[in-house]
């Protein structure tokens, strides 16, 4: 599955950070994690730290799929408003999902501190109304967050202009957000896992998965087998091929990144990521060395050749949108790319067993704009499932909600 187009910045910046052997023998373990991107690496790290013998299998080089194209905005704000989730599933569950995402950001900060050198940085996040007609929705969202003690601030048009320098009808300023280099974090997590006794295999394809009552047998096209007590399918957007049920829709998103810009020229963008209420939405954030990363302009294209042809024009369109907000900001795209992502109908992920396979095969589908935060939550959720414990988000993030 071709997941990216153009020149994703993380791949260029980091190069190939690590290489692992291919699987060339039959092995056994406690848990196999299929997928060596940021989702698989966070899950494998959690399991390994808690005493499981973990094997990670990746069909490409490590983190070379969608993780290399991720723009890695870490927010507790889900693409679906908390108020809308409350109408779907009840206020208790909506608040629980948002609070779990908030906790995931501080957990990711602590993990980044352990690893070091993953371009992690805490930020504020400005969610601004694209149109006057969106003001009522944002106010309802803000009021619900304040009711449940989220740290947020309401800005009217004057406040947005005074503090951030552009025109918008209103905005919600969130105090808890962050950013990271996802390729670097995934690579360092798996290098650490291997140093601690875990096993990682790249360029290794899983051809069949056969669950039984007490184990799961996986086989490569070359005939090598892995026998495990449990499997976690964390293969990103390629995971859908293992399910008969369609659980998400693949789309394409686009991004560009500039050369480093002086902090004085970036102004509030240096410390605040920004995104808008329109769908699809424009979003902006900086890197640790002052590059401006801009993304959005999503479309329904899921054909790699067509996505490839659109990268340059999409980058120009995104650049035009930023210049409309910040006409004095001197910038131009240094690298631009596109990538596949998937959306669920409600913006929530799917973590847990699927009736097609039974309890020994767990899925980790961290779909949507909160993929990395979701993966941090999912690591705990899936470990609870494997250990036979009930996780408070198992129902909301499970396949049963899909009907």
Q: Which 3 state secondary structure label does DSSP give 247?
A: coil
* Nearest alpha carbon to residue 51 among 368, 356, 387: 387
25 with 45, same domain? Answer: yes
Whether residue 35 is found in the same domain as residue 20: yes
Q: What is the pLDDT of residue 2?
A: 60
Domain match, 162 and 196 both = no
79 in Cβ contact with 368 (< 8 Å): yes
Please tell me the distance from the alpha carbon of residue 337 to that of residue 318, in angstroms, as a whole number: 12
Q: Is there a single domain that holds both residue 321 and residue 256? A: yes
User: How confident is the model at residue 66, as a pLDDT?
Assistant: 83
Q: What per-residue string of b and e applies to 304-335 under the rule 16 or more CB within 10 Å gives b?
A: beebbebbeebbeebbeebeebbeebebebeb
Residue 130 lies in a domain: yes
Task: Write out the residue range of the structural domain in which residue 187 sits.
Answer: 4-69+183-247+355-402
Q: Is-contact 166 325, C-beta < 8 A?
A: yes
> Structure tokens of 136?
């009522």
pTM of the model: 0.95
The residue to which tokens 């293969």 are assigned: 235
Using the structure block, give the residue that is written with the tokens 């609870």.
Answer: 384
pLDDT in tens, 235-288: 987 898 899 988 888 888 899 999 999 999 999 999 999 999 999 889 999 999
**Pair 79, 147 in one domain:** yes
Structure tokens, 20: 């692992």
3-state secondary structure of 337: strand
Cα 128 vs. chain centroid, distance in angstroms? Answer: 21
Neighbours of 37 (CB within 10 A): 28
Q: How far apart are CA 315 and CA 291, in angstroms?
A: 15
Structure tokens at 393: 């988000």
**Shared domain check, 382 and 272:** no
Query: For helices 38-49 and 182-195, what crossing angle results, to 10°?
Result: 30
Output the pLDDT for position 169.
Answer: 98
Q: What is the pLDDT along the chain (403 residues), one digit of tens a residue?
A: 565 667 788 988 998 899 999 999 999 999 999 999 999 999 999 999 999 999 999 999 998 888 888 899 999 999 999 999 999 999 999 999 999 999 999 999 999 999 999 999 999 999 999 999 999 999 999 999 999 999 999 999 999 999 999 999 999 999 999 999 999 999 999 999 999 999 999 999 999 999 999 999 999 999 999 999 999 999 987 898 899 988 888 888 899 999 999 999 999 999 999 999 999 889 999 999 999 999 998 888 777 778 878 899 999 999 999 999 999 999 999 999 988 778 899 999 999 999 999 999 999 999 988 899 999 999 999 999 999 999 999 999 999 985 4
The backbone torsions φ and ψ at residue 350, rounded to the nearest 5 degrees and listed phi first, read -125, 120
Say yes or no: 253 and 322 in one domain.
yes
Whether 138 and 270 map to the same domain: the answer is yes
With the C-alpha atoms ordered 35, 38, 43, 45, is the resulting torsion angle positive or negative?
Answer: positive
Distance separating alpha carbons of residues 275 and 233, to the nearest angstrom = 31
- Whether 176 and 316 map to the same domain: the answer is yes
- Let me know if residue 350 belongs to a domain: no
Domain count, the chain: 2
User: Can you tell me whether residue 389 is helix, strand or coil?
Assistant: coil
> 4: which strand partners?
339
- Say whether both 263 and 170 belong to one domain: yes
Give pLDDT tens digits for 306-347. Answer: 887 889 999 999 999 999 999 999 999 999 998 877 889 999
Note the pLDDT tens digit of each residue in 73-90: 999 999 999 999 999 999
pLDDT of residue 273: 97
Number of alpha carbons in the 13 Å side-chain half-sphere of residue 273: 31
Classify residue 277 as exposed, middle or buried by CB count within 10 Å of its CB (0-12, 13-18, 19+): buried
Domain presence at residue 348: no
CA distance 198 to 324: 50
Distance CA 194, CA 67 (A): 20
């Amino acid at each position: 599955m071709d997941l990216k187009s153009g020149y994703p910045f993380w791949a260029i910046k980091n190069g190939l950070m690590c290489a692992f052997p291919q699987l060339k023998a039959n092995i056994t373990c406690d848990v196999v994690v299929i997928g060596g991107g940021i989702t698989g690496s966070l899950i494998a790290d959690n399991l390994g730290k808690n005493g499981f013998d973990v094997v990670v299998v990746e069909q490409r080089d490590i983190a070379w799929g969608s993780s290399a194209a991720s723009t890695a905005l870490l927010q507790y704000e889900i693409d679906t408003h908390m108020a809308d989730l409350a109408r779907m599933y009840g206020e208790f569950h909506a608040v629980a999902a948002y609070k779990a995402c908030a906790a995931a950001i501080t957990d990711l900060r602590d993990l980044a501190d352990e690893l070091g050198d993953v371009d992690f940085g805490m930020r504020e996040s400005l969610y601004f109304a694209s149109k006057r007609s969106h003001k009522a929705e944002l106010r309802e969202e803000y009021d619900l967050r304040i009711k449940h003690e989220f740290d947020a601030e309401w800005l009217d048009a004057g406040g947005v202009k005074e503090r951030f320098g552009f025109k918008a009808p209103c905005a919600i300023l969130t105090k808890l957000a962050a950013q990271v280099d996802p390729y670097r974090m995934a690579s360092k997590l798996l290098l650490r896992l291997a140093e601690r006794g875990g096993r990682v295999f790249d360029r290794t394809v899983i051809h069949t998965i056969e669950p039984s009552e007490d184990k799961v047998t996986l086989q490569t096209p070359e005939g090598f087998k892995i026998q495990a007590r449990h499997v976690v399918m964390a293969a990103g957007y390629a995971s859908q091929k293992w399910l008969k049920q369609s659980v998400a829709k693949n789309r394409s998103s686009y991004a560009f990144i500039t050369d480093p810009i002086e902090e004085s020229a970036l102004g509030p963008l240096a410390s605040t990521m920004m995104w808008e209420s329109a769908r699809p939405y424009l979003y902006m954030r900086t890197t640790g060395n002052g590059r401006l990363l801009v993304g959005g302009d999503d479309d329904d294209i899921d054909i790699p050749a067509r996505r490839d042809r659109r990268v340059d024009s999409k980058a120009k369109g995104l650049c035009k949108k930023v210049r409309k907000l910040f006409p004095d900001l001197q910038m131009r795209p240094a690298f631009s790319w596109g990538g596949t992502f998937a959306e669920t109908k409600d913006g929530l992920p799917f973590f847990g067993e699927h009736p097609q396979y039974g309890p020994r095969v767990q899925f980790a589908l961290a779909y949507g704009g909160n993929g990395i935060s979701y993966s941090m939550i999912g690591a705990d959720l899936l470990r609870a499932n494997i250990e036979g414990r009930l996780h408070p988000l198992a129902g909301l993030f499970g396949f049963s909600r899909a009907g």
